[in-house]
Homo-oligomer: A and B are copies of this chain.
Amino acid sequence: MSRANAGTKGVPRADRELQIVRAACEVFGTVGFAKASVAGIAADAGISKPLVYQYFGSKEGLFSACLTHGAELLASDMERVAADDSVGLERGLRTLDGIFRILEPQPWLWRLFFDRTAPESGDVAAARAFYTDRITRLAMEGVGELMALVGDDDPLDVSAMTAVWMNVVDTLVTWWLDHPEVTPSQMTERCYRLIVALSGAEPPAQIVADPAAR
């Protein structure tokens, strides 16, 4: 009588895990690791706290799963863009475009990656290091091309510029979160204008109208 609602509901583990991860991504991405409560996530997912621990071991394990889930989505898209033959600012624009489209239905995914309240050791750090490497490599490649175009190949300059680039993406996504009525396409066009304003010279324009980029 005491454990009235106990007992299996016949949902396979893989389904439940995905359901939990999705709820957790939204919570972690919105309020951050430190302020997120496992009980709250469980409630959002419509299940109880011990099930979360049974499947993910700890709050940290759950966050790690979320990080992997989100980062995989983003990293694979960035690699797709990198495989194109665009260079310099145009490649930057195409990358932004892909990111905006992925984040449209789940903008909070982005925050998982830059959460300073997340643990800095253990599985979480390992997962983050793995994806940071993967993404930073792409960014450095793109930024390096851009810097080489103007004859600057100081590695520290490239390093700093890569950091700037990655946080510019972060900032534009954040700005977008505060202006939810703006569509991904409009964001891409806006980024194009901002780059024009900075550089004076206009990069190729086909990105905005290119149907293949949709």
Chain A residues within CB distance 8 Å of chain B: 32, 34-35, 116-117, 146-147, 150, 152, 154, 156-157, 159-161, 163-164, 166-168, 170-172, 174-175, 179, 182, 190, 193-194, 196-201
Contact = CB atoms under 8 A, between A and B. Distances in A.
20 contacts: A32-B34, A32-B116, A32-B117, A147-B197, A150-B197, A154-B193, A156-B179, A156-B182, A156-B190, A160-B172, A163-B172, A163-B174, A164-B168, A164-B171, A164-B194, A167-B167, A167-B174, A198-B198, A199-B199, A200-B200
For the complex formed by this chain, how many copies does it contain in all?
Answer: 2
Nearest to A143: B197
A130 to B, nearest CB: 19
A193 B157 contact: yes
A172 to B, nearest CB: 7
Given A117-B117, A167-B168, A200 B199 contact: yes
Nearest to A187: B160
Nearest to A176: B160
Contacts of A32: 34, 116-117
Nearest to A194: B161
Nearest to A168: B164
Given A152-B193, A154-B193, A168-B168, A159 B146 contact: no
